[in-house]
Amino acid sequence: MVLVAAGAWFGFKYSSDGTAESYEVKYSLECSDCDVSYKNQAGETLTETGVNSSWSHAFTGKQGQFVYVSAQNNDGSGTVTVKVSANGETRAEGSSNSKHVLATAGAAL
């Protein structure tokens, strides 16, 4: 019951069996210079270039929706990490430490 009350406070929607119907999705990454591609709320794939660790994207997703983020390292070395969170919990995470290799993370809500 506390979880449902907390969900109501933050705007999450729950079905009668207590499962979430909507999710506050957040994509985040760690990199110094990378290009990122992600699925937005409408399911479209968007790309942004030359981003760094300050980049993030948040939206409200629906139960059953597939969410995805990937980042490609533009530096000659270093690590790129991407993360998908839903309602504050990490749902997927990926990492890469080579030039021009993708780090990916995706999950179904």
69, part of any domain: yes
Q: What is the CATH number of the domain that holds 54?
A: 2.60.40
71, part of any domain: yes
CA–CA gap between residue 89 and residue 86 (Å, rounded)? 5
Predicted pLDDT of residue 14: 54
Predicted pLDDT of residue 16: 57
7, part of any domain: no
Predicted pLDDT of residue 17: 57
Domain of residue 59 covers: 21-108
2, part of any domain: no
4, part of any domain: no
The residue to which tokens 């009668």 are assigned: 16
Predicted pLDDT of residue 87: 96
| Sites in the chain below the pLDDT cut of 50 | 1-10, 12
73, part of any domain: yes
78, part of any domain: yes
Predicted pLDDT of residue 99: 79
3, part of any domain: no
CB-based contacts of 40: which residues, under 8 Å, 6+ apart? 46, 57, 59
Amino acid at 4: V
Q: Could you give the number of structural domains in the chain?
A: 1
